[in-house]
Amino acid sequence: MIRVGIVGATGYTGVELLRMLSTHPNAKVSVVTSRAEAGRQVSDLFPSLRGVCDLVFSDVNPDELAANCDVVFYATPHATAMHHAEALLARGVKVIDLSADFRIRDQATWEKWYGVEHASAHLIPQAVYGLPERNRAKITSADLIACPGCYPTSVQLGFAPLLEAGVINAASLIADCKSGVSGAGRKAAVGSLLCESADSIHAYAVSGHRHLPEIKQGLGDFAGTEVGITFVPHLTPMIRGIQATLYATLTAECDLQALFEARYKDEIFVDVMPAGSSPATRTVRGSNVCRLAVHRPQGGDTVVILAVEDNLIKGAAGQAIQCMNIRFGFNEAEGLSLVGLMP
């Protein structure tokens, strides 16, 4: 039984970590932190966890985390984990960061997009990008795991088979993505208010979203070369879920359905749907599954990939637990055998 700490456990991804880890047969949460809620019972803030979690939130204390945890999840905004990771790693504690602090390999690029100086740039080279469908072997021995963002997960899994096979023009990709409001986090913000987000959909960060350099880096790894991509995110009036509609131009003939099925046949959390399908976000709500469908409209040279995921699960907390399972040699599905909620 491994001991788990969660820093920033009051956010949406933090409570999802608590919910899923409560059923994990080989992991037990021992420390949960929150500066704002220190001293408060977890179940007081999250009544859904009554009878499941009897812990009390504490302030962040690296010594307490190191003494009581084998692995620590950082479910925090960017620029938090980078201040703590070194001290934990030095004491043998594994760090799984759900923020963006260690996802981007180039320090200057990270600092440009996140607007602060990186406090632990020397750790970036040892961080393993936590996309199991690409880096499973590296994750098995990683001490510092940088979990992918929600948009980058769906975009990379959708484009990966085509880029690896070299059958599309990697210089002109398009990712048209829609996300539920929970993607903005659990905070008071005008844009997240019901009256502002309901009955409406709008694009944002069209000139450049912080996930763009991560997406380009990941797709470049699959392609073996630099890629060009236009990424436009949209906010939709739903609580959770991501729909990514991806476009590329074919440069070689191939059986697209067979290509996708072969690439993901051994991936338990990627579901390639039958030809002609159109996956819906509600089919993956509450699950760790990314569901894909591939199309070639009118038999032309454009390929369209549809990808749906729960942004809080496969796009965040579930994928982090998947990485933990791989790192500690557990069955990859432990704590994650969750069927999507219907309706």
| Among 202, 161, 155, 157, residue whose Cα is nearest residue 174 | 155
Mean pLDDT of all residues in 266-288: 97
Q: Is the pLDDT of residue 184 over 90?
A: no
Q: Is the pLDDT of residue 188 over 80?
A: no
Distance of CA 183 to CAs 118, 166, 314, Å? 24, 32, 12
Q: Which residues on adjacent β-strands are paired with residue 5?
A: 31, 72
The bridge status of strand 173-179 relative to strand 229-235 is parallel
Distance of CA 180 to CAs 44, 219, 243, Å? 26, 24, 9
Q: Is the pLDDT of residue 173 over 90?
A: yes
Where helices occur in 166-275 by DSSP H, the ranges are: 194-197, 212-223, 256-263
Q: Is the pLDDT of residue 125 over 90?
A: yes
**Residues identified as active-site:** 150
Mean pLDDT of all residues belonging to the chain: 95
Maximum separation of any 2 CA atoms in the chain, in Å: 61
Mean pLDDT of all residues in 210-221: 98
- pLDDT of 271 reads 98
Burial 221-248 (b: 16+ CB within 10 A, else e): bbbeeebebebebebbebebbbbbbbbb
Where helices occur in the chain by DSSP H, the ranges are: 12-21, 42-45, 62-68, 81-90, 107-114, 132-139, 150-165, 194-197, 212-223, 256-263, 318-327
Mean pLDDT of all residues in 91-112: 97
Q: CA-to-CA distance for 288 and 46, rounded, in angstroms?
A: 21
Q: Write down all domains in the chain, each with its CATH number in brackets.
A: 2-126 (3.40.50.720), 150-311 (3.30.360.10)
- pLDDT of 319 reads 98
Distance of CA 203 to CAs 178, 180, 191, 232, Å? 8, 12, 12, 7
Distance of CA 98 to CAs 39, 74, 166, 187, 253, Å? 24, 6, 31, 17, 38
Mean pLDDT of all residues in 109-123: 97
Residues 256 and 297: beta-carbon distance below 8 Å: no
Q: CA-to-CA distance for 108 and 282, rounded, in angstroms?
A: 38
Which of 4-8, 61-65, 71-75, 240-244 is predicted with the least confidence, judged by mean pLDDT?
Answer: 61-65
Percent of the chain with pLDDT over 70: 100
Q: Is the pLDDT of residue 64 over 80?
A: yes
- pLDDT of 217 reads 98
